[in-house]
Amino acid sequence: MPNIKQIAKIAGVSVSTVSRVINHHAYVSEDKRRAVMEAIVQLNYSRNLNAVHLSKGTTNIIGVMVPSINHAYFSRLMEGISSEALMKDYQLMVCQTNYNPVSEGKVLDMLKMKQMDGIIIGSKTLAWEQIEPFTEYGPIVACEDAGTSAISSVYLDHYDCFRQGMRYLIERGHRQIGFCLGRADSANSLKRRRAYEDALAAIHEAVREEWMFYQCLRIEDGLAVVHQWLRMRERPTALLVTSDQVAAGIITEARKNGIRIPEDLAVIGFDNQPIAQVFDLTTIDNQLFEMGSAAFQMAYDHITKKRTKPENRELGYLLIERSTV
């Protein structure tokens, strides 16, 4: 592989002139520029990015920490990140962690090792205190509420959001309400559960453990929910489901079993994914794409020093009324 030195030699100039040409700097005479360009073509030259990165101390790479690449929620989020990265000519290093703390640590380490200029956290299991020290090495933006930590974040108020879902159901006469969440112990789940309990308390309904479904992450998880529902003596008349995929699974299996939606069972989904539209599913749009692009922008602004302090940006959400309630 030819290097800048050989180009310089052939073009009859110094390496700095070559560098200037490559980087489109001013103050290069037209004939030298041409000579360099010709040499570049002649030798089929390309810069060695590792050398560039080492020399500059930056990489134009953003790391994306997600538990799973193949999950509608993160796919949509990454799409938002990617669209913004594409415009700014940044590359994405997608790191699948499977919620493994060791894997998550490795991603943080890569920031320290200057492999990437910043990190966007889609979701994680590590505590904020374990992540915080790494902000020294570059911006870290979380796509969830980072609480009082010094980590930037784009998030929405899941308590509020869940409360609104509950309110909507209650206003339509439901009192027996259940929910489907993902990880039982995640911060978001905890908030949602609190919202759920508060909402029930407000209408003097007791909380029932058996109406709370956890580990509902994918479309197929909806099936088990329906079967459990069928086995119950007392059944919830409505379900707040924090994933359109799971909601779609529930609806499909429900219909197969002759359960009428929403008459027998009302369902509210989350995310407003395309599948929600197809199912005519009432859902809460939590702006995943926008969250992704906002996260990238935030990281970008920090890298380019447009900002220095951590930011916390709350996004809105929108209840989309369709036919499953």
Partner DNA sequence: ATGAAAGCGCTAACAA
Partner DNA sequence: TTGTTAGCGCTTTCAT
Q: Which residues bind DNA (CB under 7 A)?
A: 1, 3-5, 12-17, 19-20, 22-23, 26-29, 31-32, 45, 47-48, 51-52, 54-57
**Of 53-61, 180-188, 191-199, 260-268: span binding a second copy (CB under 8 A):** 53-61
Among 87, 113, 232, 318, binds a second copy (CB under 8 A): 113
Which one, 4 or 265, has the nearer CB to DNA? 4
Residue 165 to residues 72, 196, 208, 220, 293, Cα–Cα distance (Å): 21, 9, 18, 23, 25
CB of 72 to a second copy, least distance (A): 8
**Of 6-14, 32-40, 95-103, 190-198: span binding a second copy (CB under 8 A):** 95-103
**By the 8 A CB rule, do 284 and 268 touch?**
yes
Which one, 25 or 172, has the nearer CB to DNA? 25
DSSP letter at 172?
T
Which one, 96 or 130, has the nearer CB to a second copy? 96
Please report, to the nearest 10 degrees, the dihedral formed by the alpha carbons of residues 322, 323, 324, 325 taken in order: 80
Binding flag, residue 19, a second copy (CB under 8 A):
no
Q: Which does 122 bind (CB under 5 to 8 A by kind): a second copy, DNA, none?
A: none
Long-range own/partner contacts, residues 4-11 (CB < 8 A, 24 or more apart): 4/47, 6/39, 6/43, 6/45, 7/36, 7/39, 7/40, 7/43, 7/45, 10/39, 10/42, 10/43, 11/35, 11/36, 11/38, 11/39
Among 104, 144, 145, 253, binds a second copy (CB under 8 A): 253
Site string for a second copy, 259-278 (x = CB under 8 A): ---------------xx-xx
How many of the chain's residues bind a second copy (CB under 8 A)?
Answer: 52
Tokens at residue 206, please?
Answer: 């007791």
Among 82, 152, 153, 189, binds a second copy (CB under 8 A): 82
Cα 243 to Cα 283: distance, rounded to the nearest angstrom? 9
Binding flag, residue 203, a second copy (CB under 8 A):
no
Binding flag, residue 215, a second copy (CB under 8 A):
no
CB of 275 to a second copy, least distance (A): 6
Can you point out the beta strands (E) in 156-261?
Answer: 177-180, 212-213, 238-241
Q: How many angstroms from the chain centroid is the CA of residue 38? A: 44
- Cβ-in-10-Å burial (0-12, 13-18, 19+) of 6 comes to middle
Please report, to the nearest 10 degrees, the dihedral formed by the alpha carbons of residues 30, 32, 34, 40 taken in order: -150
Tokens at residue 53, please?
Answer: 């990165």
Backbone angles phi, psi at 285, to 5 degrees: -80, 115
Element (H, E) at 66: strand 61-66
Which one, 195 or 219, has the nearer CB to a second copy? 219
Which one, 42 or 48, has the nearer CB to DNA? 48
Within 8 A by CB and 6+ apart from 26, the residues are: none
Binding flag, residue 304, a second copy (CB under 8 A):
no
CB of 106 to DNA, least distance (A): 17
Site residues, a second copy (CB under 8 A):
1, 46-51, 53-54, 59, 61, 68-71, 75-76, 78-79, 82-83, 86, 91-96, 103, 109-110, 112-115, 218-220, 222-223, 248-249, 252-253, 255-256, 274-275, 277-280
